[in-house]
Amino acid sequence: MANTATVDLIKEKAALMRRDVIEMGYAAGGRGAHFGPALSSIEIVASLFFGVMNHDPKNPTMADRDRFVQSKGHACLALYSALGEAGYITEEQMGTFKADNSFLAGHPTRNPQYGIEVSSGTLGNGFAIACGMAKAAKIKGEDHRVYSLVGDGECNEGVIWEAAMGAAKYQLDNLIAIIDRNGVQLAGTTKDIMDVDIEALWRAAGWDVLVVEDGNDPASLLDALSGMRDSGSERPHVIIANTTKGKGISFMEGSLDWHARPMNKDQYEQAVSDLENA
Residue-number span of the structural domain to which 30 is assigned: 4-276
Angle at which helices 4-27 and 218-229 pack, to 10 degrees? 110
Question: What's the mean pLDDT when you consider all of the chain?
Answer: 96
Least Cα distance to 134 among 69, 224, 57 occurs for 69
Burial class (CB in 10 A: 0-12, 13-18, 19+), 230: exposed
Tally of domains within the chain: 1
What digits encode the pLDDT tens for the residues 34-89? 999 999 999 999 999 999 999 999 999 999 999 999 999 999 999 999 999 999 99
| 233, pLDDT greater than 90 | no
Report the alpha-carbon distance of residue 125 to residue 105 in Å, rounded.
17
Strands (E), the chain: 67-70, 146-151, 175-181, 184-185, 188-189, 208-212, 237-242
Query: E strand or H helix at 226, and its extent?
Result: helix 218-229
What digits encode the pLDDT tens for the residues 174-227? 999 999 999 999 889 999 999 999 999 999 999 999 999 999 999 999 999 999
Query: E strand or H helix at 17, and its extent?
Result: helix 4-27
What percentage of the chain carries pLDDT values higher than 90?
95
What digits encode the pLDDT tens for the residues 87-124? 999 999 999 999 999 999 999 999 999 999 999 989 99
| 143, pLDDT greater than 90 | yes
The CATH number that applies at residue 249 is: 3.40.50.970
* Helical residues (DSSP H) of 52-154, grouped into ranges: 76-86, 91-94, 125-140
